[in-house]
């Protein structure tokens, strides 16, 4: 920012690193969890008095809070949301129990919840609850306090409406995804009732990108036919196509795929026969390990495509196939992993809810490496990078890779701590757990560097043309999100090379200041 005379204005963050302040981190940890600076939404409509004084009615009710009291109330809202971030229902009750008699109370509460929903991820040591928590919290407050419903709807409209909405395609990627999820859940809870305004000539036009993303998220909660039946025709063009699987072997099956469809079954499965067939094909050189496992994966995905329960069952019945057919050669193993990731992505790319849950199951059971998933999505996906970047579910899978890896590492760390307190010296179990923990930590660092490298490679792979500027900006935004949500991994980030774009170098250097 600059003053009118061109001199820069320094913007100071509450959470400033030790390098910038020279203060011990223990002092910084004593600061408030979050600075209650927020976008005025519904409360902004009530700025109808001058000065800082409160406005009191004859019955003693505060019609308007002073700015000082408003600041304290906003801070209290933030502290309660952080303290009760594991229990949505209790958090909503505690927020509504605050003994403040003022017409400002509900508008400021709604603004506080929406500001936490759209706030970018915290920059330093603060564990922010997931965005879904705030979505559920807003709807819980609405269920307990019906008078909050019009305020909540107004706040959402203020965020996405107008010629230059506050949240659009240029907003933080997680903010876009959070509002899309909120809109989808709100439509479900209100039986699809919403005042849509998508007329291009309307001054209050709602952002088509946010509405479209919300309807795409709605397909994860309802059927496509329900959307067509309950939503007005004016938004039918924004509804994504009906979810479907994309099996490239269905119309032109290969001999191996045909045989795999007969062997891979939900009932009466014969895992040993599948292993014998794949091992024989790979050993004789009839197909590479990557090609053989791709055809097996398509057969397996087809067998489990009916429901998520079918998919879980078919994975259980063939749980040894992927580990036992993985090549020992690192180069072949990399292609093998890309074949698995590519099979899942291409098969379910038009079926968002199944794409996310199938990748989740494979990653949790370590059937596929997270590095292979990131590399395929960013560099190998069919249809080009633009289609991937416009697919919120694909971005969700990508952004969830490191948090999933982190949860596993934290779980192992907690297990090691519990065993160390009770185990005797030299216990082999503790040693094994520590080895697994070290391996998990190394894997997380490798994944972090791999994802950053893939983003750089994807950026460099775009043509030097203005038509790709939006894609370049999206990749830079993804890099910023991944860096600032993994500050503890930044010291292990590989130094930028000559191939690193200047925009991405700037992101890395700016975020490193916070470490």
* Three-class secondary structure assignment of 24-84: CHHHHCCCCCCCCCCCCCCHHHHCCCCCCCCEECCCCCEEECCHHHHHHHHHHHHHHHHHC
* pLDDT of res. 309: 92
C-alpha count within 13 angstroms, C-beta hemisphere, residue 216: 23
Phi, psi of 265 (to 5 degrees): -135, 155
Backbone φ and ψ of 139, nearest 5°: -75, -30
pLDDT in tens, 412-425: 998 888 887 666 55
Burial classification of residue 281, based on how many CB atoms lie within 10 Å of its CB (0-12 exposed, 13-18 middle, 19 or more buried): buried
Strands 55-56 and 62-64 come out as antiparallel
- Residue whose tokens read 């014969």: 270
- For 491, other C-beta atoms within 10 Å of its C-beta total 9
Please state, in angstroms and rounded to a whole number, the distance separating the CA atoms of residues 114 and 147.
16
Q: Would you state the pLDDT for residue 218?
A: 93
Residues of the chain with pLDDT under 50: 1-36, 49-51, 123-125
The CATH number of the structural domain formed by 34-238 is 1.25.40.180
Q: Could you give the count of Cα atoms lying within 13 Å of 1 in the half-sphere of its Cβ?
A: 5
pLDDT at 167: 82
Q: What is the CA radius of gyration of the chain?
A: 26
Please state, in angstroms and rounded to a whole number, the distance separating the CA atoms of residues 187 and 222. Answer: 10
Whole-angstrom distance between the N-terminal and C-terminal Cα of the chain?
A: 23
Q: Is the dihedral of CA 161, 184, 114, 171 positive or negative?
A: negative
What 3-state DSSP class applies to 410? helix
pLDDT of residue 45: 64
Q: Which spans in 304-427 are helix H?
A: 308-317, 321-325, 330-348, 352-364, 370-375, 385-389, 392-422
- The pLDDT, as a whole number, for residue 54 is 53
The model's pTM is 0.82
Query: Tell me, what's the pLDDT at 466?
Result: 81
Provide the β-strand partners of residue 64. 55
HEC-encoded secondary structure of 345-372: HHHHCCCHHHHHHHHHHHHHCCCCCHHH
CB contact at 8 A, 166 and 39: yes
Q: Which two tokens stand for residue 383?
A: 């249809």
Question: What is the per-residue pLDDT for 68?
Answer: 86
Burial class (CB in 10 A: 0-12, 13-18, 19+), 288: middle
Burial 345-356 (b: 16+ CB within 10 A, else e): bbbbbbbbebbb
Pick from 425, 246, 503, 469: which is nearest to 349 by CA? 246
Nearest one of 330, 331, 262 to 295, comparing CA atoms: 262
Sequence length of the chain is 515
Paired residues of 62 in beta bridges: 56, 102
Q: DSSP of 448-477, one letter per residue?
A: HHHHHHHHHHHHHTS-SSGGGHHHHHHHHH
206 has which bridge partners?
161
Residue reference for tokens 């949500």: 485
Return contacts of 113-116, CB within 8 angstroms, 24+ apart: 113/77, 113/81, 113/137, 113/138, 113/141, 114/39, 114/41, 114/138, 114/155, 114/156, 114/159, 115/38, 115/39, 115/41, 116/78, 116/81
Q: Looking at residue 495, what DSSP letter applies?
A: P
Token code pair at residue 271:
């895992």
Instruction: Name the nearest CA neighbour of 260 among 200, 218, 302.
Output: 302
Burial of 443 (C-beta count, 10 Å sphere; 0-12/13-18/19+): middle
């Amino acid at each position: 920012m600059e003053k009118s005379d061109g001199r820069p204005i320094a913007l100071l963050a509450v959470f400033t690193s030790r390098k910038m302040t020279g203060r011990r981190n223990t002092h910084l940890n004593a600061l408030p969890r979050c600075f209650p600076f927020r976008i005025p939404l519904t409360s902004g409509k009530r700025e109808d008095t001058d000065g800082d004084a409160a406005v009191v009615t004859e019955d003693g009710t505060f019609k308007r809070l002073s700015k000082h009291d408003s600041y304290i109330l906003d801070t209290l809202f933030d502290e309660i949301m952080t303290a009760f971030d594991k229990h949505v229902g209790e958090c909503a009750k505690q927020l509504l129990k605050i003994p403040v008699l003022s017409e400002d109370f509900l508008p400021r509460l709604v603004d506080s919840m929406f500001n936490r929903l759209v706030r970018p991820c915290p920059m330093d040591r603060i564990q922010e609850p997931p965005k879904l928590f705030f979505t559920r919290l807003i709807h819980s407050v609405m269920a307990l306090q019906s008078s909050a419903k019009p305020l909540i709807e107004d706040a959402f409209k203020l965020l996405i409406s107008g010629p230059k909405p506050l949240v659009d395609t240029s907003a933080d990627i997680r903010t876009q995804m959070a509002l899309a999820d909120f809109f989808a859940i709100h439509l479900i809870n209100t039986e699809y009732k919403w005042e849509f305004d998508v007329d291009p000539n309307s001054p209050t036009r709602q952002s088509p990108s946010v509405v479209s993303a919300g309807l795409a998220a709605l397909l994860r909660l309802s059927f496509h036919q329900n959307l067509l039946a309950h939503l007005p025709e004016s938004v039918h063009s924004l509804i994504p196509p009906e979810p479907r699987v994309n099996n490239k072997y269905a119309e032109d099956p290969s001999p191996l795929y045909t045989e795999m469809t007969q062997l891979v079954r939900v009932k009466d499965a014969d895992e040993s026969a599948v292993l014998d067939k794949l091992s024989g094909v790979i050993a004789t050189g009839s197909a590479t390990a990557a090609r053989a496992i791709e055809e097996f994966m398509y057969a397996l995905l087809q067998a489990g495509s009916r429901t998520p329960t079918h998919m879980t069952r078919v994975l259980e019945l063939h749980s040894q196939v992927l580990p036992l057919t993985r090549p020992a050669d690192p180069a072949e193993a990399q292609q093998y992993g890309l074949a698995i990731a590519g099979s899942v992505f291409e098969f379910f790319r038009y079926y968002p809810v199944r794409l996310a849950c199938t990748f989740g199951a494979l990653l949790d059971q370590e059937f596929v490496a997270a590095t292979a998933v990131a590399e395929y999505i960013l560099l190998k996906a069919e249809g080009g990078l633009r289609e991937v970047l416009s697919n919120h579910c694909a971005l969700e899978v990508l952004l969830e890779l490191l948090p999933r890896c982190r949860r596993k590492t934290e779980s192992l760390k907690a297990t090691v701590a519990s065993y160390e307190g009770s185990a005797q010296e030299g216990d082999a179990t503790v040693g094994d757990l520590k080895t697994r923990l070290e391996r998990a930590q190394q894997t997380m660092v490798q994944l972090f560097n791999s994802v950053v490298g893939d983003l750089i490679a994807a950026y460099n792979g775009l043509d030097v043309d203005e038509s790709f500027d939006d894609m370049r900006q999206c990749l830079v935004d993804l890099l910023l999100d991944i860096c600032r949500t993994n500050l503890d991994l930044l010291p292990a980030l590989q130094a930028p090379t000559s191939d690193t774009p200047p925009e991405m170098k700037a992101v890395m250097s700016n975020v490193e200041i916070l470490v």
